[in-house]
């Protein structure tokens, strides 16, 4: 006599449930259901992918160029020379008796790190839509890898600044470095936080509002003129100094210049304000990014 398989749906369901319960899953993917569901620990689990993206960003940028990494030096040097001619010799803008090449290079070094991080992270969703639509990984890894890889470029340009700074320090008595130099690493971290925070905010918004890409193109340039890079704070009236105080990047630039050059208006209160501003922008950016990544494929 042959035995037919059981057709009792209750028994079949129970058997299926037991089979699934006995399985040991290596990875469980669950939908994000609310705005605050941000799994930062997942970034650490995908750290190998993060390092791979960082390596890709560093190697591929100048892979097929003749000068290669030398372009890291060419950009700040050419920009500094243009500033010296236009703002120093033609416009006659004061540099607080600091040698013009060194004064402009100090501001350019930090500003380039912020602007590069901001510009590149602001197109995360649009530029990586094909990859995001094929395989799962924490999307925040992409803008984070951009900010970290740009540290290498900043390190090279900072080394150039130190060479110029050491030459002027040995040949003139116009530079007066002080203990504020120790805040350099903290200033870089603040720049990284601002670049990442603003970048992911704009990246989230541009998936739906493409007009923001045109605003971003010249908005960063305009923001540079609202930051004491080509001019010292001392040349501004008291009214404009109070207005510029609300620019968080201004405090970073001033602390960096004051530490290495002895010229500027660095303040602990200014850096505390910048810190709170950075944490706020980062929090808003990550939450908005987390929300957008769940539905952006419908709008990109």
Predicted confidence (pLDDT) per residue in 231-285, tens digit: 998 888 889 999 999 999 999 999 999 999 998 889 999 999 999 999 999 999 9
How far is it, in rounded angstroms, from Cα 96 to Cα 116? 28
3-state secondary structure 146-202: HHHHHHHHHHHHHHHHHHHHHHHHHHCCCCCCCHHHHHHHHHHHHHHHHHHHHHHHH
Query: Do residues 5 and 254 make contact, with C-beta atoms less than 8 angstroms apart?
Result: no
How far is it, in rounded angstroms, from Cα 148 to Cα 50? 9
- Reported as a pLDDT band with limits 50, 70 and 90, residue 16 is very low
Res 15 pLDDT > 50 = no
- Reported as a pLDDT band with limits 50, 70 and 90, residue 6 is very low
Sign of CA dihedral 203, 209, 212, 214: positive
Residue 88 has what DSSP assignment?
A: I
- Reported as a pLDDT band with limits 50, 70 and 90, residue 28 is low
DSSP annotation string for 275-296: HHHHHHHHHHHHHHHHHHTTTG
CA separation, residue 285 to residues 44, 90, 118 (Å): 19, 41, 12
Per-residue confidence (pLDDT) for residue 68, from 0 to 100: 63
- Reported as a pLDDT band with limits 50, 70 and 90, residue 300 is low
Residue 219 has what DSSP assignment?
A: H
How far is it, in rounded angstroms, from Cα 225 to Cα 242? 16
CA separation, residue 188 to residues 22, 29, 110, 111, 151 (Å): 50, 35, 7, 10, 9
Run of H or E residues at 65: none
Sign of CA dihedral 32, 36, 41, 43: positive
- Reported as a pLDDT band with limits 50, 70 and 90, residue 14 is very low
Per-residue confidence (pLDDT) for residue 10, from 0 to 100: 44
Each residue of 171-216: pLDDT tens digit? Answer: 999 999 999 999 999 999 999 999 999 999 998 888 877 777 778 8
Res 5 pLDDT > 60 = no
- For the chain, what is the total number of helices (H) and then of strands (E)? 13, 0
Taking the alpha carbons at both ends of the chain, their separation in whole angstroms is 62
DSSP annotation string for 43-77: HHHTHHHHHHHHHHHHHHHTTT-SSGGGHHHHHHH
Which pTM was predicted? 0.83
Each residue of 95-153: pLDDT tens digit? Answer: 988 999 999 999 999 999 999 999 989 888 877 777 777 777 788 898 999 999 999 88
How far is it, in rounded angstroms, from Cα 168 to Cα 85? 19
């Amino acid at each position: 006599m042959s035995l037919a398989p059981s057709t009792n749906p209750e028994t079949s369901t129970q058997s299926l449930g037991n089979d699934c319960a006995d399985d040991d899953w290596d990875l469980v993917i669950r939908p994000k259901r609310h705005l605050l569901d941000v799994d930062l620990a997942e970034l650490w689990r995908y750290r190998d992918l993060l390092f791979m993206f960082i390596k890709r960003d560093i190697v591929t940028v100048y892979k097929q160029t003749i000068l290669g990494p030398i372009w890291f030096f060419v950009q700040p040097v050419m920009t500094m020379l243009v500033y010296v001619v236009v703002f120093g010799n033609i416009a006659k803008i004061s540099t607080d008796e600091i040698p013009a090449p060194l004064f402009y290079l100090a501001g350019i070094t930090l500003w380039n790190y912020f602007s590069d991080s901001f510009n590149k992270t602001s197109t995360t969703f649009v530029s990586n839509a094909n990859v995001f639509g094929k395989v799962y990984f924490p999307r925040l890894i992409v803008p984070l890898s951009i900010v970290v890889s740009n540290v290498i470029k900043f390190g090279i340009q900072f080394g150039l600044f130190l060479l110029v700074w050491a030459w002027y320090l040995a040949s003139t008595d116009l530079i007066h470095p002080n203990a504020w130099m120790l805040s350099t690493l903290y200033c870089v971290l603040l720049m990284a936080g601002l670049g990442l925070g603003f970048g992911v905010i704009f990246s989230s918004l541009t998936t739906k509002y493409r007009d923001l890409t045109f605003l971003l193109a010249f908005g960063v340039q305009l923001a540079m003129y609202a930051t004491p890079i080509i001019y010292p704070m001392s040349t501004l009236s008291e009214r404009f100094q109070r207005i510029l105080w609300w620019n968080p990047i201004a405090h970073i630039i001033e602390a960096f210049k004051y530490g290495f050059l002895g010229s500027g208006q660095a303040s602990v209160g200014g850096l505390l304000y910048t810190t709170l501003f950075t944490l706020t922008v980062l929090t808003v950016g990550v939450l908005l990014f987390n929300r957008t990544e769940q539905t952006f494929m419908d709008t990109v």
